[in-house]
Structure 1
Amino acid sequence: MKLKEKRLAQDLRKNGYSVKEISKELNVSQGSVSVWVRDIYLDKKAKTRLLKRIKNCQYIAGENKKRRTEEKIKIIVNKSKEFIRSLKIDSDNEKLICALIYWCEGAKNEKYGVQFTNSDPYLMKRFIELFLKHFKIDISRIRMYLQLHQYHDKNTQLNFWSSSTGIPIEFFQKVYIKPNTGPRYREGYQGCLSIKYCSVEVAREINAIAKAYLMSKL
């Protein structure tokens, strides 16, 4: 048995050193150190140092994990951007994309025309952009409705959504303020926007395109 190393290990342990630290310091296995120091009493000072060491290690491990995750996400994002840039999306593809977006988030009851509601500015922008581009639309018949929480500033949000979607503010018919449900604030939440277009024919067309694609054999 390495008596000298054992005594040094026990002394280090009394001073609050971890098994891993002692193993590295003395160049012996962690298994040996664990056996040597398992009965060592730790006073308050030693426990404080050991606890601090554990917390520091946990923090470092957490930061390393966070960094690795961020690097993985960055790779995925870059690959996704490259994938999108490589696509050859023609007019028909865009019309289909618009119909599929509507199928997922739009109203299915066609007798009320086209009704699409969402709180994601990017999704709203893309849908409206494709909808106006690929369907026979009389833009003067478009109606926009906005639902906000009481903590929102009405004019600020109207300007935000008008800028995001490219739809002039005069097309926004009504702003609904949701009743106060308590001290709840959603960071980055811009409200929920609805676009309505009163045309049964267009509603039937956009739903039919999506349904035909989903039911087709690839």
Structure 2
Amino acid sequence: MLSSVKTVERERARKLRREEGCSVKELAALLGVSRSSVSLWVRDIELTEEQRECLRRRMGGRIDGSRANAVIARERRTAAQAAGRARAERGELLHAAGCMLFWAEGSRSRNRIEFVNSDPAMVRFFLRFLRSCYEVTDSRVTVTCNLFADHEARQREVEDFWLSTLALPRTQLRKSTINRYSKYSQKKRRNKLPYGTCRVAVCDTALVQNLYGVIQEYGGFEREEWLM
């Protein structure tokens, strides 16, 4: 539960956000609290177009409209991270496991989730996590197979294996890549990965940032560059 002091700060933050269109950064500085706390408090309050224009004017002409839009987009990413932090407090086992797996094995960017592995059970579990915890539909998932030279003759078989494992239609398959062995590794690496590796990807800025918020909450740290 929030302390009485935090409750007052929260209500003041919401009032200023709603009535004056203050940015998360402005509210954090004014109230002397962290941006993540402010984002959590005001994440459901969207700025109106008029308030966004006022925010641009408050920037004093030092930045152009595209930069102001970037600031607003950053606020949305911050709000998504705050929502993730709140989600972490529920203590859901599948959710926690999926987020930790993404932290350990996922490829991180601002707006795209990518997960690559050679273990069918692990890739299937990660997709189960996205489907169950974030209602990610099949149409939003893309699959790319990364093959080695010894897979080339059975490329269709490998692709079908991953699609079957993930219960996805072939429409979600993207062009496979084939890695050629160097002359130094041909005898050593052949047949080590019978189905190569599989990459699943979902483009969704809010989802990515939500996961970043969860990871930071579980890990007890803040990573500013994940908002960049």
TM-score by length of 2: 0.51
CA contact (8 A) 1:114 1:197 kept: yes
Structure 1 unmatched ranges of 5 or more:
1-89
Counterpart Cα distance in 2 of 1:214 and 1:171: 33
**SS of aligned partner of 1:148:** strand
CA contact (8 A) 2:163 2:170 kept: yes
Matched, 1:213 2:183: no
CA contact (8 A) 1:102 1:207 kept: no
**SS of aligned partner of 1:116:** strand
Instruction: Supply the RMSD in Å over aligned alpha carbons.
Output: 2.0
C-alpha displacement of 1:117:
1.1
Instruction: For 2:182, give the aligned amino acid.
Output: T
C-alpha displacement of 1:148:
0.1
C-alpha displacement of 1:138:
3.8
Counterpart Cα distance in 1 of 2:101 and 2:113: 12
What is the correspondence of 1:89-104 to structure 2 with a 5 Å cutoff? 92-104=92-104
- Match in the other structure for 2:204: 199
**SS of aligned partner of 1:147:** strand
CA contact (8 A) 2:101 2:126 kept: yes
**SS of aligned partner of 1:167:** coil
Note closer, same or farther for the CA distance 1:91–1:186 as it changes in structure 2 (3 Å cut).
farther
Instruction: For 2:149, give the aligned amino acid.
Output: Q
Counterpart Cα distance in 1 of 2:182 and 2:120: 24
Matched, 1:178 2:179: yes
Counterpart Cα distance in 1 of 2:170 and 2:91: 28
Counterpart Cα distance in 2 of 1:186 and 1:215: 41
Counterpart Cα distance in 2 of 1:214 and 1:196: 24
- Match in the other structure for 2:85: none
**SS of aligned partner of 1:190:** coil
Q: Deviations over 1:148-196 (max 9, x none)?
A: 0111111110111112222222211110011232434133431111111
C-alpha displacement of 1:213:
0.9
Counterpart Cα distance in 2 of 1:159 and 1:129: 18
What is the correspondence of 1:13-162 to structure 2 with a 5 Å cutoff? 92-111=92-111, 113-152=112-151, 153-162=154-163
Counterpart Cα distance in 1 of 2:179 and 2:203: 25
Instruction: For 2:142, give the aligned amino acid.
Output: R
Q: Deviations over 1:45-64 (max 9, x none)?
A: xxxxxxxxxxxxxxxxxxxx
CA contact (8 A) 2:150 2:191 kept: no
Structure 2 unmatched ranges of 5 or more:
1-89, 222-228
C-alpha displacement of 1:141:
2.0
C-alpha displacement of 1:91:
8.6
Q: Which has the higher contact order (CA 8 A, sep 6+)?
A: 2
Larger radius of gyration: 1
% identity of equivalent residues: 18
